[in-house]
Chain A
Amino acid sequence: MEKVFQPLDPLLHAELRLAVMSLLIADVEAEFPYIREQTGATAGNLSVQIDKLSSAGYIKVRKTFKGKRPCTLCRITAKGQKAFAAYVEALKSYLDVKTSS
């Protein structure tokens, strides 16, 4: 029987967006500088990818102030958690084939 591959969410199937989601899945709410530090991305690129994830409803971005400095906080949403779980499930189907072949 032919193995059926589950489709991979194109929004998550990108290095930086996947890294951001993987970070946020473990953390409750992370500040923008922390995500930048952990992913090693540039501020501009990270900002664009965060906007894409936010527009899809995968993460929620909250802008606040820390003293006088602006502070951007990111948090994964329930929709984002579901999408991430589905992505990992889909990933398994690809890895199963690789390991069994």
Chain B
Amino acid sequence: MEENMELTAERSLEIITEQLEKSRRAVSKDTGEWLFVSGLTTMITAVIVASVNYLTWTPLAHLLWFALPAVVGLVMRRGRRNRVPVPESFVGTLVRKTWYTILAFALVYAVVAFIWNQVVYRFESPEVSSRIAMHIVPTILTLLAVAVSMTGLILKKRALVWFGLLSFVIFRFGVFWILCARLLPPDVLGRLSLVRPCELIFLFALVGLMLPGLMLKASSQPSPKGKGEN
């Protein structure tokens, strides 16, 4: 870009639009990477927790979930070591604050519910405890689906809004289990129920985090002309 005093009004407007769009695209790409890494890490954690659960029959493996935010943070930091950081922007801040708020709610709920469930299962009868236990996974999946949809609204990516809604409907309302019951043989279904809820988290991470992340990253690449919306 050279200094040019012959700049027309149209070209000025074009420059402003182009730069604003570049800024939004940088935030979209950054968010896409973040969603992708979160999804992938969650899927790996789900496999580890399910394996440990299956082999040792101990619920303690679920404590690994609490390490997830730190693992995602570390992976992102390592991956971005030699790259120019995306600056703070209004859109970026909005996305970041949305996720921090939702994740804070999810973490607090998970901790309280985990402790509550341990106490309830220890001191109450199975009938009572199954009724008053707090359901951690459906609530957290709902919160994450809301965050994905809100991110889509902020970044003006309609597909992301639908990914959030779709994952909410499939994994929150038992549609997943209805499909499994219809499509899978009973022995596979039986084995799947042994690793519950890891299979649900695994698939949610795929549909609700990893795929939207990939989509967001792909759609944030500059168009061949170098400008315009994707």
Which residues of the partner chain A approach B20 to less than 8 Å between Cβ atoms? 22, 25-26
Which residues of the partner chain A approach B85 to less than 8 Å between Cβ atoms? 31, 34
**Cα-based distance from A40 to B222 in the complex (angstroms):** 13
**Cα-based distance from A58 to B140 in the complex (angstroms):** 45
Closest to A38 in B: B22
A-contacting residues, B1-34, CB 8 Å: 1-5, 7, 9-13, 15-16, 18-20, 22-24, 26
Query: Contact at B23–A16, with CB atoms within 8 Å?
Result: no
Query: Contact at B1–A19, with CB atoms within 8 Å?
Result: yes
Looking at A18, A25, A29, A33, the one whose CB has the most chain B CB atoms below 10 A away is A18
Count CB-based A-B contacts (< 8 Å). 88
Which residues of the partner chain B approach A25 to less than 8 Å between Cβ atoms? 20
Which residues of the partner chain A approach B26 to less than 8 Å between Cβ atoms? 34, 38
In the complex, whether A86 has a CB less than 8 A from a CB of chain B is no
Interface class of chain A by DSSP: helix
Query: Contact at A27–B87, with CB atoms within 8 Å?
Result: yes
* Interface magnitude class on chain B: 20 to 34
* Interface magnitude class on chain A: 20 to 34
Query: Contact at B87–A28, with CB atoms within 8 Å?
Result: yes
Rounded to whole Å, the gap between the CB of B99 and the closest CB of chain A is: 18
Which residues of the partner chain B approach A94 to less than 8 Å between Cβ atoms? 9
Known: A22-B20, A23-B23, A38-B19. A28 touches B4 (CB 8 A): no
Known: A14-B3, A15-B3, A37-B84. A88 touches B16 (CB 8 A): yes
